[in-house]
């Protein structure tokens, strides 16, 4: 049995906006699933429908096999963490966390015991009696998590919960969140528009675009095997090259491009005779000084000149101008000494093995 099932779920708002359509998803117990997509693609609407804050207009939502579509939020086994945390500023940390338990008719001792345990777990015990508005962003984030978890939900729903934090704190809390999720074994459904967050945290990612699911897969799958043009453009930094006259043999597709014949793994969405895009991940490309590469066996070879280069930490970013027709990004490690000698204006060749290249349908 799944912890969460969405069967053909859709939402059309009363003004006619189709926010979500035909959403199918099955989530196993203890899975960490991220909804990823640009602003307005329907992530929050879907999360709110799972929580029960938004009525669904099509399909059904099941939690642990039970249809919850018409059950009010407080009776669903879910907790939701909002982007702004929605804490009561003038209540103490203890009162904020205990709030969710008030409807549960527990004895005073039972309630205090649960609140104490969770405050301890989140390192909040020293601030138990402080008002929520007298705490830092990171501490408020922890209170929101503690309040969501103290009711022991089957599913924790998180709506961009790290959005309000600065970059350093976000990294710290990301790690904590991942550890916490592992430790508790609770199913997490997480909404984000930041791909690094989705790729780093989740077991599976649902990539969404304009209210529809584009692809569901592990971070590696959506990163290395995009199924659609949207996913290839949205995830990672792929070079996208137009191709035509697709032919497929032994599982490898070949297309004609402005840069010659290129090969890659065809996504299941591509059809021979239709427009095709070649997607090459920036970090899967090899770069070498023009001429030097000729001795090496190389597939998908492209000639160009270095238009830009800059290093961030241990990653060297190049932008290669392909004969004035197109620019592509290439990322390599800064430990490669030969590459560190390359300068803007140098003539280079990039190439990529066909097993790292994906052919996706255009549009």
> Which range binds ligand ADP by CB under 6 A, 14-22, 25-33, 274-282, 314-322?
14-22
Contact window for ligand ADP (CB under 6 A) among 40-48, 68-76, 85-93, 345-353:
40-48
- CB of residue 45 vs ligand ADP: minimum separation in angstroms? 3
- Position 195 contacts ligand ADP (CB under 6 A): no
Q: Does 314 bind ligand ADP (CB under 6 A)?
A: no
- Which residue of 42, 59, 100, 236 would you call a contact of ligand ADP, by CB under 6 A? 42
Specify the DSSP class assigned to residue 157: E
Asked if residues 123 and 47 have their Cβ atoms less than 8 Å apart, the reply is no
- Contact window for ligand ADP (CB under 6 A) among 33-41, 78-86, 90-98, 143-151: 33-41
Is position 19 an interface residue for ligand ADP (rule: CB under 6 A)? yes
**Beta strands at 187-192 and 155-159: parallel, antiparallel or unpaired:** parallel
Considering only the stretches 43-51, 148-156, 224-232, 242-250, report the one whose residues sit in contact with ligand ADP under the rule CB under 6 A.
Answer: 43-51
Q: Cα separation of 265 and 262, whole Å?
A: 11
CA–CA distance, 323 with 11 (Å, rounded to integer): 47
45 scored as a contact of ligand ADP (CB under 6 A): yes
Here the contacts of 123-132 (C-beta below 8 Å, separation 24 or greater) are 124/93, 124/97, 127/93, 128/92, 128/93, 128/94, 129/92, 129/93, 129/94, 130/92, 130/93, 131/89, 131/90, 131/91, 131/92, 132/87, 132/88, 132/89, 132/90, 132/91, 132/92, 132/93, 132/96
Is the separation of the CB atoms in 205 and 34 below 8 Å?
A: yes
Residue 88 touching ligand ADP (CB under 6 A) = no
| Strand 212-217, strand 187-192: pairing | unpaired
17 binds ligand ADP (CB under 6 A): yes
Q: Which stretch binds ligand ADP (CB under 6 A): 11-19, 218-226, 326-334, 349-357?
A: 11-19
Nearest-angstrom CA–CA distance, 320 and 346:
10
- Which among 347, 223, 321 is positioned nearest to 280, based on CA atoms? 223
User: In the block, which residue shows the tokens 């992530």?
Assistant: 43
15 binds ligand ADP (CB under 6 A): yes
Binder of ligand ADP out of 23, 32, 43, 143 (CB under 6 A): 43
# residues near ligand ADP by CB under 6 A: 12
Q: Tell me whether residue 49 or residue 360 sits nearer to ligand ADP (CB atom).
A: 49
Using CA atoms, how far residue 71 sits from 5, 77, 103, in Å, is: 15, 10, 16
CB of 278 to ligand ADP, least distance (A): 29
d(CA 81, CA 146): 10
Instruction: Give the nearer residue to ligand ADP in terms of CB position, either 55 or 294.
Output: 55
Nearest CB to ligand ADP, comparing residues 13 and 88:
13
Q: Look at residues 276, 179, 274, 158 and name the one whose alpha carbon lies nearest to residue 265.
A: 276
Closer Cβ to ligand ADP, 38 or 291, answer by number: 38
The nearer residue to ligand ADP, 10 or 253, going by C-beta atoms, is: 10
Instruction: Report if residue 44 touches ligand ADP, rule: CB under 6 A.
Output: yes
CB closer to ligand ADP, 96 vs 192:
192
Select from 4, 21, 41, 146 the one that contacts ligand ADP (CB under 6 A). 41
In the complex, minimum distance from the CB of residue 33 to ligand ADP, in angstroms, rounded to a whole number: 15
Q: Which two tokens stand for residue 115?
A: 């609140």
Minimal distance, residue 48 CB to ligand ADP, in Å: 8
- Distance of alpha carbon 113 from alpha carbon 134, whole angstroms: 24
Binding site for ligand ADP (CB under 6 A): 13, 15, 17, 19, 37, 39-45
């Amino acid at each position: 049995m799944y912890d969460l099932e969405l069967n053909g779920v859709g939402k059309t708002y009363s003004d006619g906006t189709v926010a979500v359509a035909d959403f199918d998803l099955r989530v196993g117990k203890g899975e960490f699933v991220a909804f990823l997509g640009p602003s307005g693609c329907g992530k929050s609407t879907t999360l709110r429908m799972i929580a029960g804050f938004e009525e669904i207009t099509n399909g059904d939502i099941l939690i642990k096999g039970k249809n919850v579509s018409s059950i009010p939020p407080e009776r669903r086994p879910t907790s939701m963490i909002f982007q702004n945390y929605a804490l009561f500023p003038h209540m103490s940390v203890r009162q904020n966390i205990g709030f969710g338990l008030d409807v549960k008719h527990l004895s005073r001792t039972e309630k205090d015991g649960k609140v104490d345990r969770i405050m301890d777990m989140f390192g909040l015990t020293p601030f138990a009696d402080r008002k929520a508005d007298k705490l830092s962003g990171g501490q408020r984030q922890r209170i929101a998590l503690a309040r969501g978890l103290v009711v022991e939900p089957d599913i924790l729903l998180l709506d961009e919960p790290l959005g309000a934090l600065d970059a350093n704190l976000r990294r710290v809390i990301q790690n904590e969140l991942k550890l916490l999720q592992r430790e508790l074994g609770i199913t997490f459904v997480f909404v984000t528009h930041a791909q690094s967050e989705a790729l780093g945290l989740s077991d599976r990612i649902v990539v969404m675009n304009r209210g529809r699911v584009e692809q569901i897969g592990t971070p590696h799958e959506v990163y290395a095997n995009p199924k659609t043009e949207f996913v290839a453009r949205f995830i990672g930094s792929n070079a996208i090259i137009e191709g035509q006259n697709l032919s497929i043999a032994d599982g490898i597709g070949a297309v004609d491009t402005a840069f010659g014949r290129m090969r890659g793994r065809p996504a299941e969405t591509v059809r021979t005779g239709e427009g095709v895009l070649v997607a090459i991940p920036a970090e899967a490309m090899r770069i070498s000084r023009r001429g030097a590469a000729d001795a090496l066996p190389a597939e998908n070879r492209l000639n160009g000149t270095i238009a830009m280069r800059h290093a961030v930490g241990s990653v060297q970013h190049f932008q290669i101008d392909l004969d004035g027709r197109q620019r592509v990004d290439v990322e390599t490690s800064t430990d490669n000494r030969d590459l560190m000698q390359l300068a803007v204006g140098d003539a280079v060749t990039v190439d990529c093995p066909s097993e790292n290249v994906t052919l996706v349908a255009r549009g």
